[in-house]
Amino acid sequence: MGNHARAATLPPPTRQPQSGPPTSSSAARAPRGGIGNWHLALAVVLVTGCTAIQPMPPSDERILPTRADFHADLHDVLQRFVDDRGLVDYPALAADRATLDRYYALLADVSPDSHSERFPTEHDRLAYWLNAYNAAVLVAVLRHYPITSVRDVRPPVALFFLPRLSGFFVFQRITLGGRTMSLLHLENDIVRARFDEPRIHFALNCASASCPRLPRTAFSAASLQAELDRETRAFMADERNVRVDLAARRIELSSIFEWYEKDYLAWLAIHAPDEPPALSAYVARYLSPTRAAALRACTDCAVTFTPYDWSLNGRSTR
């Protein structure tokens, strides 16, 4: 919410006929249904209304991991506490969080911005930011656990007029490479702004049921392209996220496609200029041949975006 803050309030699903593939006006709106539209208010209150999640103090004898092992602690956490559906055993993680805390402390000290020499390639840098986002979400959930949704983390009472999700995605502040920031900033101003890679929206997990699944392995520079492809295909293989109903002449897509339509179409314009400038052209690239053919055949279909389920991605709540 995403945003991969993931929307404050959602407009009702829109219907539109396809002349060719689907398009919508979402590119003109702020991502995630409105988070990020109230910069003036935030400028006044950020320094007093935010909750900084402090990392564990580093050990004087700590040795930084090698490039190959940098994300080993996160990998261990994901293997032990996340299942194949991407659901998290939060009670167990809360009771045994030392490895996650150690990894967060490492992230707080070291980032591609603070130690550029440790992240020499674009894949090194993107893998860091994706892993940092997913780890920071886990840390933020544990800070408030037990909760049933990230929506339970409210903004300050005096700021009742702000979108409810701002409590989690804006007012929870994380530290990465010595810089304090929100999850919203990390997603929009670092990951989206620096990388021409819309598949990130299927790699970032916002601890919610409608989010892309949290993978059981940390992202790695060496195999990042294959990992992004895997997560994108897995998301689109789920009919909750992409469904073509030829009989009803309807295409149903996850709200993620509405929120980030601009990213997908911009990528197509540069990397696949012969493709129609539409969501269906991007989606079809990652579907099975049978489903891709059905999508392409639905040229006059209406497009709807399914409501987002913000319930927590915990094993005990699903």
pLDDT in tens, 114-170: 999 999 999 999 999 999 999 999 999 999 999 999 999 999 998 888 999 999 999
pLDDT at 225 over 50: yes
Measured CA to CA, the distance from residue 213 to residue 206 in angstroms comes to 9
pLDDT at 84 over 70: yes
Domain span at residue 223?
26-317
**Averaged confidence pLDDT in the chain:** 87
Helix (H) or strand (E) run with residue 244 in it = strand 242-245
Instruction: Determine, yes or no, domain membership for 12.
Output: no
Instruction: Determine, yes or no, domain membership for 17.
Output: no
Percent of the chain scoring above 70 in pLDDT:
82
Instruction: Determine, yes or no, domain membership for 19.
Output: no
Sheet containing 242-245: give its strands across: 242-245, 250-254, 302-306
Check if the beta carbon of residue 264 is closer than 8 Å to that of residue 253: no
162-207 pLDDT, tens digit each? 999 999 999 999 999 999 999 999 999 999 999 999 999 999 999 9
Q: Would you state the structure tokens that stand for residue 150, as one six-digit string?
A: 């990230």
Instruction: Determine, yes or no, domain membership for 1.
Output: no
Q: How many domains does the chain have?
A: 1
Instruction: Determine, yes or no, domain membership for 151.
Output: yes
Stated pTM of the model: 0.87
pLDDT at 80 over 50: yes
Burial class for 30, CB neighbours closer than 10 Å (0-12, 13-18, 19+): middle
Instruction: Determine, yes or no, domain membership for 264.
Output: yes
272-297 pLDDT, tens digit each? 999 999 999 999 999 999 999 999 99
Instruction: Determine, yes or no, domain membership for 7.
Output: no
Instruction: Determine, yes or no, domain membership for 189.
Output: yes
